Amino acid sequence: MNPTEQDIYVGIKSGQLASILRGEQCVFVTPSSINDDMRPTDHDELLTKALYPLAIAHGKDFIQTELEQALRDICGDALGVFCAHQCFYIEIVKENGGRSPLSLNRDSLPKYLASSFMRQSPALHLLELRQGDLAIDRSYKVTVAGMRILARDYGVDWGIILPAL
């Protein structure tokens, strides 16, 4: 069962948004046939069903600040970098489509995520979210592809030259 908006708010207030983004608690789950690349938590559902309503109810600046900090906080390992990039990617696409009340930092945050990507790049090659991922280098390729799309289509400056796939 998916968490409630109130569950997420309690998590944010208790400093647990980073754990929520990593899929360690309050996990939003959708069938893999719908949103397979969003494991271990469905960031699209988290944003749409919890963070956006909370931004409206408790202030855009509060939720935006908490989300930006949590995205930074989870970048200490490959799983965190993968989740941070997935969530950032979804949010930027939603912002540009006018479907988000937030507007994440597009200067220092992408550069922080890029430097975290570079630090965790070897570990991303070894991150297996589901059986068989290592054979196709899935976690690494999904992250790089998202970075390239954001740079090309949305003008996100990562501050690095993206590696070839």
Using alpha carbons, select from 111, 75, 105, 90 the residue that is nearest to residue 37: 90
62 vs 38, more confident: 62
CB burial class (10 A; 0-12, 13-18, 19+) of residue 29?
middle
Domain that holds residue 144: 5-154
DSSP code for 4: P
Checking if the pLDDT of 60 tops 70, the result is: yes
In a domain, 14, yes or no: yes
Number of folded domains that form the chain:
1
pLDDT at residue 40, as a whole number:
53
Whether residue 164 lies inside any domain: the answer is no
pTM attached to this predicted model: 0.91
Task: Classify burial at 52, counting beta carbons within 10 Å of its beta carbon; exposed 0-12, middle 13-18, buried 19 or more.
Answer: buried
Number of other CB atoms surrounding residue 31 within 10 Å: 8
In this predicted structure, what is the pLDDT of residue 20?
Answer: 96
Q: Of 112, 146, 143, 108, nearest to 125 (Cα)?
A: 143
Domain assignment of residue 162, yes or no: no
- Establish if 139 belongs to a structural domain: yes
CATH number of the domain enclosing 112: 1.25.40.520
Residue 101 falls inside a structural domain: yes
Residue 29 lies in a domain: yes
